[in-house]
Amino acid sequence: MRRSKRGLQGFKRRRLHRSPVRSRGVGHPSNGHDEVRRLVFRMAFVSLLVVLGVQVIWTPRAFAQSSKAGSSGASSVGISTESAPSTPDSSVTHDSIEAAIKEVESSSDLADEEKKQIVGLYKEALAQLEKNDEIRRQIESGRTGVRELPVKLESLRRLSRQDVDVTTPTLSELSANETATQAELLQAQESVDRLAGEPGRLKDRLANIPNELSIARARKKELERQLEVGKGTGKSDSTPRGAAQRALTRARIDGAGLAIAQLQQEIATTKALSTSLPAEQAAARKDVDHLNEQLARIQAEIDKRKLANAQEDLRKAKELEENVKREFPSLLSIPESIVRYAEMLTPPKDYSARVADAGLEASQAAALAVRANDRLAEMKERINQVGLTPAMGIYLREAQLDLPNLRTYHDRIRARQINMQKAEVELIRLQSTRGEVVRMRKGDDNLNSMLPPPQGNKDHDERLAEFRRLLGIQQEYLNRAIEQVSQYLTAMMNLDESERRLIAANQKLANYIDANILWYASAPVISTEDFRASLDALAWIVDAEEWRMRGDELRHDATDHLLLCLIVGSVVVALLILNRWHCESYLALLAERASQYRCVRFLPTAQALGLSMLIALPWPLLLWFVGWRLRAPTDVPMEAVAVAIATSHCALVLFVVLLLNAFLRPHGLVIAHFDWDASVIRRCRYRLLIAAAVGLPLIFLVDLMENVHQVMYRATLGRLAFIGLMGVFAWLAWSLFRPSHGVLRPAEHASKLSKRLSASAFVALFLLPVAMAAISALGYVYTARRIVDELGWTIVLVLVATLLYLLALRWLMLARRRLAFEQARAERLERLEQLKKGESQGELDALTDRDDEEEIPTVTLDAIDTQTRHLFRCLFLIGLGTLIWLSWSSFVPAMDRLNRIEVYPHFLQVIPPNASEGELSITLIEVIWAAVVSVLTVIAARNLPGLLEITILERLALQPGGRYAFSTVTSYVTVFIGASVALSLLGISWSHIQWLVAAFTVGIGVGLQEIFGNLASGLILLFEAPIRIGDVVTVEGVTGTVKRIRVRATTLLNAQRQEVLIPNKQFITSLVTNWTLSNRIVAQEVTVGISYDSDPKRARELLLSICERHPEVLDDPPPVVIFQEFGDSSLNLLLRAFVGEMADRLRIGNELNESILEEFNAAGIDIAFPRQDIMLLPQHGAEIESRP
């Protein structure tokens, strides 16, 4: 303004200075009106600049205030700020659409199918119009509710219940008033509980409405665009179908506008309800307080009257006892029992208070069960309406936190059973006594027999009358006592039934939450805003005032529980001192003892395990104690509870880490007792400590943010800390299990299977934390947290099971070593005894002076046979698998959602919850379970026969071939059962595939006759067992040992160590020689040719003597020597000797040949060689004989 004013004054001065000149200029006559007009224009321009400047400065604030005022105004009257149709489109009405439907149905130019489609479109438009009318009614109802809200609040402020008169009604009327008041109190308490959750619900609704508004606006724009496209083409109205589609689109546009108006009206209604909510909550609490006071007054009056009546009855019973004691002392036992019954009916021994409490608890349990069922129905409806949204995930999480602890109810039911059993015993005793009293009162003869002998001067009739009167009074008190005990049992049974229904309802609700909560995002997708929002959580964490409050709470608790704190502190200090000065050195001493080959005791290993736990215990114990004491008080704030839970969790993780660190020490269990590579363990320990140093603070942050009950903290800083923790786990898996340079990578000489398993383990352990970080970043924070929690417990279970497995192997190795030591000592004693009998004194002294250590064989873990290792490994895997399944069983309900994802016939289509069963469909969970069953079937088919072999079959009197046949058949049966289960999981039963299997069998039987022939022959070989594993057979000129009998062919190992595959059909259709089928004795034949000059009898005797001296030639059947024939050049003798095994036949034949040659040479018997006589005839008839 100052600058504008100065500029105006300068302009005036310039104008006054130049006006005379202008007045004298040519063509510029003096005109005052022009100057005035210019001045006005310039002043207006300057004023406009001033106004614009002020507007620029003040418009944002004014706009915000006006928007706020407008919003509040709209909220107060329920008027939308965005135009929305309050009346239907005049061109689309119920009458016009019904007229169009009649016109289409009566048209003769349209086909029936086209008519059906057009009528369907018009009916959809009618349904949309009805829905629009319903939305209009809801909008008007919301506006009416907002307008009537002040009247409602005023009525709530004036609302008051009238007090019930407790002095004039009778006891029965008071009991009826008590029951009615209890019912009203339950309803009022439900209202309080419902209103307590309203702020969060309204807040969540206000947060979700903008998103729904944007979706509704986008839908309306899309519908309007579709309508405009139809208008632009000009073709939509030219056909009946186009007209119907246009009517439907207009109805939907009307509905979209109404949806926008409804959401905006809901904003106004929600804000109005938020302002009225405190008054409603105050009125509900006031109503509950009033009803509690009224119920307390009624119950006090009832108790007062019942107590007065019971005391009066007790006074009368005692007075009766005194009178009988004075007048009829012989009948004193009856009034004494009446006094006991009267005391049983008098507080505090009576059951009336417990009956009332049980009735109230039963009503509360029934109300809670109804509430759980209603909440389940509401939850299902909301999930079906809203779908997969982060708000629904938060809603499910809060509902899960609100679930009661069902274990408390189970404990109460178990305790109640004990009280009910005692009451039943008491009821049986009272009923038995009443039965005796009734029997005594049946007749005078019975009374006379039961009447006690007289003790005074009363005659018989007087005593009999008094006896009868006392029995009547006793029966009356017994009836009242039995009625009270029966009422107590009935009330307890009703309470038990109500609490069981409550448990069932809450269990159903919990299962539904578990089935859905993992599939809903609990936070939005991570963004840069989360990093800025994390600063608020960090500010809360580093707030000194918060930690000062936690310190004050610990200090006050330590003052109140000084003795407990001193005891725990003393234990921690003692453990630290013990670890510093004794545990380390003693652990090294135990390692030295355990590493000696003389060690045969398990005690050093057990002591090392205990010392490792003591070394790891002090700091986790202190952390756990701090966390326990932080949440020990009853009025502890939620922030302290969050710190306590985070501290306790960190204490558990720290204990596991320190225990592993103790195991991995140079003198720890792993190196000194389990004999693992020290260099590898040292590097593992180093990386583990680095991961723990970085991961423990992140674990504390994750748990703190999870339990602080601030959704923003959980979704920002808590999620970032969780992602960082997953990064630590991924780094640890990368550094330990990487196949190329990982610390725990397989050795270079390891088998291919071991390398593949190691690579698979690395991929799983590395990708799991990466996947958890990814789904957490996508908003599934709770899902990732739950999975990681279960993975953590699974890792702990694997570590514990591995420790137990290694301890079992250590114990087994020490047992084997102790057995070897005892055997060596026994052999030494036996040699000593032999030397004492016949050896020299020097050798005896040398054996006596020998150190025992020289007699101990070296027994290590490698000495344990494969069978025992397999047995221990199977037990380990079975136990570990069972524990892991129990740990992950809480995720089974969540898998039910996969049962709604269809794979066949519609791929990845979601089945509605209320869909009816129709044609055969296969869901995703069925495919997953079928895959799991298939994998387990393959594993079982490969390993179950070996397990049976080492656990059962080796202990049975079976030949190796029989064991092999049993194992092979077991594999076939396992595959058949697994395939049947997998197909049944996919919904494919025998009724679905029997014709297909029949046709397939016929086709395969024709096309693959040889293969099926071999398959059938293989089954015959397994069951009939003409050949077995280890038999020596000859088939088709091939001789060998049977190694394997498979489905198609059998493998023989011949003398050249070649494996020959022979189709199974050849063993059935060809001539087969089984050398070892029923008798493994085999004849070894040796043919010996001696010269004609030798004595065959002498040669025969030598051959028999050679067989007798050979240790492996059997005596039964005896060897046989036969003078077989006169050969061309020799006398041929046949030696047939029998050996025990076919495998020894060639070796024994070789040894016999060597002995025959040696013996014959010594005896002068020539081994003949081929000889031929040649006759040479001269030309002149002279005969010349030539002998070579």
DSSP secondary structure, 604-626, as one string: HHHHHHHHHHHHHSHHHHHHHHH
Q: And the tokens for 676?
A: 């693992």
Task: Name every residue whose Cβ is closer than 8 Å to that of residue 492 and which is 6 or more positions away in sequence.
Answer: 358, 416, 419, 420, 423
CA distances from 8 to 18, 19, 51 (A): 15, 16, 16
**Distance from C-alpha of 1029 to C-alpha of 1053, rounded to nearest angstrom:** 11
Task: Say what the pLDDT of residue 1002 is.
Answer: 67
By three-state DSSP, how is residue 1121 classified? strand
**965 close to 992: Cβ distance less than 8 angstroms:** no
CA distances from 400 to 110, 379, 389, 403, 509 (A): 58, 12, 17, 5, 9
Task: Name every residue whose Cβ is closer than 8 Å to that of residue 759 and which is 6 or more positions away in sequence.
Answer: 739
Query: pLDDT of 925-950, one tens digit each?
Result: 778 888 888 888 887 777 677 667 65
Instruction: Tell me the mean pLDDT per 10 residues along the chain, length 1188.
Output: 40 38 37 45 45 38 35 36 46 80 82 83 87 88 82 69 69 79 82 79 76 81 80 58 85 88 86 82 82 81 75 76 68 76 75 80 87 86 70 77 84 88 88 81 57 57 72 81 88 91 90 81 80 82 79 83 87 84 82 79 87 90 89 76 88 92 87 83 88 92 82 82 92 83 59 66 86 89 87 88 87 80 76 62 50 45 55 74 78 69 62 51 77 81 68 61 68 82 75 64 64 73 75 84 81 83 83 79 85 86 88 86 84 87 82 88 82 66 48
SS (H, E, C) 482-516: HHHHHHHHHHHHHHHHHHHHHHHHHHHHHHHHHHH
**Dihedral angle sign, alpha carbons of residues 276, 281, 287, 290:** negative
Task: Name every residue whose Cβ is closer than 8 Å to that of residue 414 and which is 6 or more positions away in sequence.
Answer: none
176-182: Cβ within 8 A, 24+ apart: 177/298, 178/295, 178/298, 178/299, 178/302, 178/356, 181/291, 181/294, 181/295, 181/298, 182/295, 182/359, 182/360, 182/363
Distance of CA 278 to the CA centre of its chain: 42
Residue 1037 falls in which region: left (phi positive, over 0), alpha (psi -120 to 50) or beta: left
Task: Say what the pLDDT of residue 722 is.
Answer: 92
What are residue 1133's DSSP bridge partners? 1088, 1123
Burial (CB < 10 A; 0-12, 13-18, 19+), residue 1025, is middle
Distance of CA 723 to the CA centre of its chain: 22
**Distance from C-alpha of 102 to C-alpha of 110, rounded to nearest angstrom:** 13
Comparing CA positions, the residue from 993, 990, 986 lying closest to residue 924 is: 986
Provide the whole-model pTM. Answer: 0.57
Residue with tokens 């008590």: 178
**506 close to 371: Cβ distance less than 8 angstroms:** no
**Distance from C-alpha of 823 to C-alpha of 839, rounded to nearest angstrom:** 22
Task: Say what the pLDDT of residue 693 is.
Answer: 92
677-686: Cβ within 8 A, 24+ apart: 680/743, 680/744, 683/743, 684/736, 684/743, 684/744, 685/660, 685/661
Q: Please report which helix (H) or strand (E) contains residue 14, including its range.
A: helix 2-24
* End-to-end CA gap in the chain: 154
What are residue 1089's DSSP bridge partners? 1132
Residue with tokens 């409405």: 209
